[in-house]
Structure 1
Amino acid sequence: MRLGLHYWNFSTPAEPALLAPTLAETARVAEQAGVSAFTVMDHYFQMEFSTSAEEPMLEAYTTLGYLAAKTERMTLGVLVTGVMYRYPGLLAKIVTTLDVLSGGRARLGIGASWYEREQRALGVPVVPVKERFERLEETLQICRQMWSDDNGPFDGRHYQLAETLNVPAPLSRPYPPIMIGGGGEQRTLRLVARYADACNVFGNSLTEVAHKLDVLRGHCAAEDRDYDSIEKTVVVTRPPLTDVDAFVAEVAEYAALGVTEVQTMPDRHPVEFAQQLAEHRIPERLTDLG
Structure 2
Amino acid sequence: MGCYCSKGLVTINNRAFYMQERIGEGGYAYIDLIEDKKSGKFFALKRITCHSKEDETEALKEAEYCRMFNHPNIIKVEEFTTVKKTQTTSVWIVFPFFKLGSLQDLIEKTAKNNSYIHEDRLLGIFKGICEGVKAMHEATPSPVTHRDIKPANVLLDENDTPVLMDFGSVGPARVEIKGSAEAQAMQDLAAAKCTMPWRAPELFHVESHCIIDDKVDIWSLGCTLYAMIYLEGPFDAVWQKGDSVQLAVLSRNVKFPEDQQSLYSAELLDLINALLVVNPAERPNINWVIQRVEDLCLNALAANRV
TM-score (norm 1): 0.26
Which has more strand, going by share of residues? 2
TM-score, length-normalised on structure 2? 0.25
Higher RCO, Cα 8 Å, sep 6+? 1
